[in-house]
Structure 1
Amino acid sequence: MLGRWLVFLVVLLGGLAAGVAWLNVAGEVPVPAEASPSNGTPDQVARGEYLVRVGNCMTCHSARGGTPWAGGRGIATPFGTVYAGNLTPDPDTGLGRWSAAHFWRAMHHGRSYDGRLLYPAFPYPDMSRVTREDSDAIYFYLRTLPPVRQPATPHALDFPYGTQAALAVWRALFFRPGGFEPDASRSAEWNRGAYLVRGLGHCAACHGGRNPFGATPERGMSLDGGLIPMRNWYAPALTAADQAGVGDWDTAHIVALLRDGTSPRGSALGPMADVVYRSLQHLREDDLRAIAVFLKSLPQQRSVASGRKAPDPAQVETGANLYETHCADCHGHDGEGARNAAGATMVPPLAGNRTVTMEPPANLIRVIVHGGFLPATRGNPRPFGMPPYGLVLTDSEIAALASFMRTSWGHAAGEVRPQEVARFRGGTGE
């Protein structure tokens, strides 16, 4: 149905493509004809090296087993697969011919060297808020990388998603280039955190959710949570106290979670563990604190009740037996978890755990099926790891186990159905 509607839109608006185009170039400053590659100062290069860590840029632009920064990694979307480009300064297959102005146009306007519209798998709706100074610093750092000749892998997108006309329509509907606008009523620290979260950190790319056309609500400003397409992990709402909201956390605990992947209030699993490992643990303490201050200030609300019914008593009994067999030795008979002699969490408690009660139960199912692994960081060098049970337990057994946990220890989150386990166990899992 979605494909037919988008085909309809493209056909309907195809004749207006030239008219739509002005919406995509409005406000753009043309790249000067004489613009040529340039190199920055050592301070700019060092700044750029730090900023690419903030943006976690290398993760997407490095294929597994390939040369870092040379691109080729496939990014699965509901519309097909987009392959990341080569960011090394190779003149023919990378950024070797790009000027700082070309790079800024890509970051701010979502256009390639030759003016083609880029796919928003590259999160330019967020990167558009990055300052020119930071964009130039990133460009100067990328110029210092060893050039790697690696031609771009063609995107594998279904029709009409791979057309420039479809992209023009999408941008007309969902994208406007813009910058970060500081809030004068807030502190410099708060504004720094907002800039990192809303811009280079592109947190909304996951935590903002996606509409049927793959756009983040509120033009990339939403942090209300959503299922990560093709990966079947749920990025919890940063604006919901019963999901990932941290309004009542100590700032130090938020910083610890971002830096170490674990804190007295929670731990990072799944895609978030990868973000901590590859990006957040490398940030300066002042930037981590700024992010924490911003996240702590977000208005908090409770999620809408799911309306799930209570599980069948027989299902709960099955789940209780499975819990005693597979889970209680580590997580405790009452879901209390375990701490070491210093009081640090060794095994996370399940009682009161938001992953257990969250709606949808995607993350709970994925942890049971695929295991739970915290990132290895300086503050957590030997992280706890939970083994996967996807090959040990059936979908019905996993549903029973999840239902038991979601209705025990004061929880009232309702049943999990075997069909949901079948749905959420799949996906790329990356």
Structure 2
Amino acid sequence: MKRTHFFKSLGVLAALLIALPAAVIGWQWLGPEERGAATPAPDPTRQLAQGQYLARAGNCMACHTARGGAPYAGGRAIASPFGTLYTSNITPDKTTGIGQWSADDFWRALHHGRGKEGQFLYPAFPYTSYTRLSRADSDALFAYLQSLPPVARANQAHTLRFPYDQRMLLGLWRALYFTPQSYQPDPRQDAQWNRGAYLVQGAGHCSACHSARNRLGASIEPLALAGGVIPALQWYAPPLHGGADGLQDWSTADIAALLKTGVSPHAVTLGPMSEIVGRSLQYLNDADVSAMAVYLKSLPASAADDAARPASVEPAEAERIMKQGKQLYGTLCVDCHGGKGQGSAPDYPPLAGNRAIAGPHPANAVRAVLNGGFPPSTAGNPYPFGMPPFGPQLSDQEVAAVVSYVRNSWGNQGGLVSAAEVNRYRSVPLD
């Protein structure tokens, strides 16, 4: 009898373990959706201009355009820890694009993260941020996309590992990490601050890069913008809050300069941020860029959750590494970045106090030394100075030494870097 009772209890437990997730997924699938209030645009020309502006603010073309492909026709591979996703065709082609979508369907995708037929969308499409867009902005963006030339390009299937390829399981992810919500202005703040918050939290989707992620790919404290490693790309997006490890020593004008031109007295953009400035932020008007800067500067400090562990070495070995790094720095770097890491703004960024270089992750410093790089060419900085790649001439140990020296000199306390780490970054694709 006891054994029978045990097996009955086990069966009940198993049934509950199956029924509960199924109920959560069912609620996510069948739950009510707020449709938003669509209103006819009094000036269609102005609506199209607004939509084009928002498309640039969200950098939509960058993700939805394959290298060498037609704009917005999709097919760009997005690497993730779970496999590879391919962006969709958002031109108005009626067979392969969104030509048969309505403005309501588009709002559903942005606000609720669901496709035309109701399917859950993978959060590589940042609907967790786009949900904050107003219905008017969603309609303007849709109107602009519908005005583009249609391109017949079939969408490519994602190649994800099991169980991440089971789309219905996204219902569980959504229950844990996503709630549709429009941006609500903070009555304690002025119009400029609220405009900046709306752009940073919504169309700009800054948290997609500047927040650490958990093992299921969800952003940790997305509104804190405490910095984090961009999955698969292996670039470190530094904190964007106003704390000591973020933008505390930056003026709003310097923040705006970096966003608009890619250079500032404190830093220059490299890697993914250069693409964002070059393709997106430089086209925003000065008022919006300043609003974003004001909002970012106001954010309170927040500790990042994914700090890397510096290499642990014996004191004698650390001294040898620093000595070798100093010698290499004097040969390769001092002419541009100065003997005290002070740089020569805006062409050559300072290394002393540079959080992107001397922060918790060495990725940016290692990749800059290996591969070099340029800030974007922008209207405010059309002929940027760049850094040459030293990867071909330096060994992993030499790169580790010079990066370790930079990360631990002039007040920096970034920790040492190992040759093994350098070797890992050497094999990471450039984009």
Query: Fold conserved (TM > 0.5)?
Result: yes
- Give, in whole Å, the separation in 1 of the partners of 2:188 and 2:170: 37
- Give, in whole Å, the separation in 1 of the partners of 2:372 and 2:244: 23
2:219 aligned with 1:216:
yes
- Give, in whole Å, the separation in 2 of the partners of 1:414 and 1:146: 51
Q: 1:25 to 1:429 in 2, by over 3 A?
A: farther
Contact 1:242–1:302 (CA under 8 A) maintained in structure 2: no
Q: 1:351 to 1:224 in 2, by over 3 A?
A: closer
Match of 1:44 in 2: 47
Q: 1:299 to 1:175 in 2, by over 3 A?
A: same
- Give, in whole Å, the separation in 2 of the partners of 1:14 and 1:149: 42
Q: 1:278 to 1:230 in 2, by over 3 A?
A: same
Match of 1:183 in 2: 186
Match of 2:8 in 1: none
2:349 aligned with 1:348:
yes
More divergent stretch after superposition (282-291 vs 19-28): 19-28
Out of 21, 25, 41, the residue aligned to residue 26 of structure 2 is 21
Deviation string, structure 1 residues 115-139 (Cα, Å, up to 9, x no partner): 1111100000111111100000000
2:153 aligned with 1:129:
no
The one-letter amino acid paired with 1:17 is A
Q: 1:184 to 1:240 in 2, by over 3 A?
A: closer
Q: 1:256 to 1:321 in 2, by over 3 A?
A: same
Contact 2:266–2:350 (CA under 8 A) maintained in structure 1: no
Match of 1:269 in 2: 270
* TM-score, reference length from structure 1: 0.89
The one-letter amino acid paired with 1:316 is M
More divergent stretch after superposition (16-25 vs 280-289): 16-25
User: CA shift at 1:248, angstroms?
Assistant: 3.4
* TM-score, reference length from structure 2: 0.89
- Give, in whole Å, the separation in 2 of the partners of 1:392 and 1:12: 57
Deviation string, structure 1 residues 214-268 (Cα, Å, up to 9, x no partner): 00124x434111111101101112236454x223322211111111111122221
Once the two structures are superposed, the pairs formed by residues 92-171 of structure 1 within 5 Å of their partners are 92-171=95-174
- Give, in whole Å, the separation in 2 of the partners of 1:425 and 1:139: 41
Q: 1:99 to 1:307 in 2, by over 3 A?
A: closer
Contact 1:17–1:168 (CA under 8 A) maintained in structure 2: no
Deviation string, structure 1 residues 263-307 (Cα, Å, up to 9, x no partner): 122221211111110110000111011101101101135779977
Once the two structures are superposed, the pairs formed by residues 392-407 of structure 1 within 5 Å of their partners are 392-407=393-408
The one-letter amino acid paired with 2:335 is D
Q: 1:115 to 1:375 in 2, by over 3 A?
A: same
- Give, in whole Å, the separation in 2 of the partners of 1:39 and 1:144: 17
User: CA shift at 1:346, angstroms?
Assistant: 2.2
Out of 54, 57, 65, the residue aligned to residue 62 of structure 1 is 65
How many residue pairs match? The answer is 411
User: CA shift at 1:427, angstroms?
Assistant: 2.9
- Give, in whole Å, the separation in 2 of the partners of 1:233 and 1:213: 19
The one-letter amino acid paired with 1:126 is S
Contact 1:31–1:102 (CA under 8 A) maintained in structure 2: no
SS in 1 for 2:203: coil
The one-letter amino acid paired with 1:391 is P
More divergent stretch after superposition (406-415 vs 304-313): 304-313
- Give, in whole Å, the separation in 2 of the partners of 1:74 and 1:345: 34
Q: Which runs of 5+ in 1 are unaligned?
A: 1-8, 339-343
- Give, in whole Å, the separation in 2 of the partners of 1:18 and 1:301: 36
User: CA shift at 1:354, angstroms?
Assistant: 2.4
Out of 204, 207, 210, the residue aligned to residue 210 of structure 2 is 207
More divergent stretch after superposition (141-150 vs 364-373): 364-373
Q: 1:25 to 1:201 in 2, by over 3 A?
A: farther
Out of 308, 311, 321, the residue aligned to residue 327 of structure 2 is 321
Contact 1:232–1:425 (CA under 8 A) maintained in structure 2: no
Deviation string, structure 1 residues 5-27 (Cα, Å, up to 9, x no partner): xxxx9x95577425422135534
More divergent stretch after superposition (381-390 vs 304-313): 304-313
Identity of matched residues, %: 50
Contact 2:255–2:293 (CA under 8 A) maintained in structure 1: yes
- Give, in whole Å, the separation in 2 of the partners of 1:30 and 1:132: 9
Contact 1:193–1:287 (CA under 8 A) maintained in structure 2: yes
User: CA shift at 1:334, angstroms?
Assistant: 3.1
Q: Which has the larger radius of gyration?
A: 2
Deviation string, structure 1 residues 307-355 (Cα, Å, up to 9, x no partner): 75666211111112211222223223332323xxxxx522222233223
Q: 1:222 to 1:423 in 2, by over 3 A?
A: farther
The one-letter amino acid paired with 1:324 is G
- Give, in whole Å, the separation in 1 of the partners of 2:334 and 2:194: 44
SS in 1 for 2:79: strand
Q: 1:426 to 1:179 in 2, by over 3 A?
A: farther
Q: Which runs of 5+ in 2 are unaligned?
A: 1-13
